[in-house]
Structure 1
């Protein structure tokens, strides 16, 4: 089977560094699904406005090397514990396919290059190819009492973000709210723990520089 993108994702993230590890963790983070010309047809979206969430099937396009190992090291487990690749959501997979649930914010049928689907909470980099879009339906997709393996025993760690006022002014209120949620998730590789190191993360066409000391993340510069 040969597959081709039906759309590409537009996101504040120009690189994969800093992107939330799962969809929904930064639930105010905005993104846009932009269809390729072949699929820019409003009829293909008919009825979508009656759903709240979508499933996106997409490509880990920034991971170019071939993934052949049967085990990976999930960041949630500190990057040191090995788990089976098919028991994780690691981006290093045999076919580099990702699956994300995103909330529909609005659908713009009148845009010049539309229709465009504006969504919230995605974990995709700018330019990510999307291969399919399906509606999320609760009767089939929601299993609130299901076990979630190692995820059940390892809580999502969130940092206290210190964002000086003079640097916060570089962003709109909406951008700032989303950026603070992203930073609180700790964008660093899990095995990094150097309180003096300054990290850089591209967000909304800016380079956000920060340090992390324990549970405190401080933004030190915006370029």
Structure 2
């Protein structure tokens, strides 16, 4: 029986391994250059929040918040939405486009824990991630096919800033997406604390009923940074075309001014 050829540590063997290493490097470059997926926005979001300040930390916390999904010109075919009227909720995959910097650490400090406890970025929903992608579940409020921008999906309860790029939408499916008995890590032991909100009648009169309720529930979530607790400080939160000024003391938030234009005025 012929013995198999073995390779001794000779010049021939070293040359063989050098060729393997060369081709492996070439293959790795090919994978990085040609196989990495590129994604492009299919739509952008229209929201009353023109800055990150005040946006709910999760979707669904303020169900009254209204927003719109406006598709990019290449995706404005009504056929792409055929059958969507049979669903109540959507998943949105989007970009944290307002981040000033990318992920710089494998650990983050969740606001729900007071900003003092560090957890792994993949154990949180921090916006500062290796790939700055967000995932939100929103309620479908309706689909308007007769707009200058093609079909527009109206949604409720989103946590996206105005102008946010959206990369994909998928229908929410109860049997696959709902797990009501699942554990939720640190969230199970640290429930969201809501503030008592007071909006004087004079200021409230400048809002439509639904808009006022959305504002109230947004403020209940405490828009302030977790490290700020100055009862004398006046905070400003952009909301639609308005600038809402408020103060917080002893768990009570009081709106003191609506500094933006009145409804119907630019």
Q: TM-score range by the shorter chain?
A: over 0.9
Aligned residue for 1:73? Answer: 109
Separation in 2, partners of 1:170, 1:148:
39
Separation in 2, partners of 1:77, 1:214:
19
Question: How many aligned positions are there?
Answer: 223
Of 215, 219, 233, 1:179 maps to: 215
Structure 2, unpaired ranges of 5+: 1-36, 260-266
| SS in structure 2 at match of 1:200 | strand
Matched, 1:191 2:259: no
Separation in 1, partners of 2:99, 2:67:
21
Higher strand share: 1
Separation in 1, partners of 2:134, 2:102:
15
Instruction: Name the TM-score, length of structure 2 as normaliser.
Output: 0.83
Aligned residue for 2:141? Answer: 105
Could you say which structure has the larger radius of gyration? 2
Where do 4+ consecutive residues of structure 1 move more than 4 Å? none
Structure 1, unpaired ranges of 5+: none
| SS in structure 2 at match of 1:187 | coil
Aligned residue for 2:66? Answer: 30
Which structure has more RCO (C-alpha within 8 Å, separation ≥ 6)? Answer: 1
Separation in 1, partners of 2:227, 2:126:
16
Instruction: Name the TM-score, length of structure 1 as normaliser.
Output: 0.99
Matched, 1:216 2:225: no
Of 104, 107, 114, 2:150 maps to: 114
Of 93, 97, 115, 2:129 maps to: 93
Aligned residue for 1:60? Answer: 96
| SS in structure 2 at match of 1:140 | helix
Q: CA RMSD in A?
A: 0.7
Alignment of 1:192-207 (within 5 A): 192-207=228-243
Separation in 2, partners of 1:51, 1:148:
26
Separation in 2, partners of 1:64, 1:192:
20
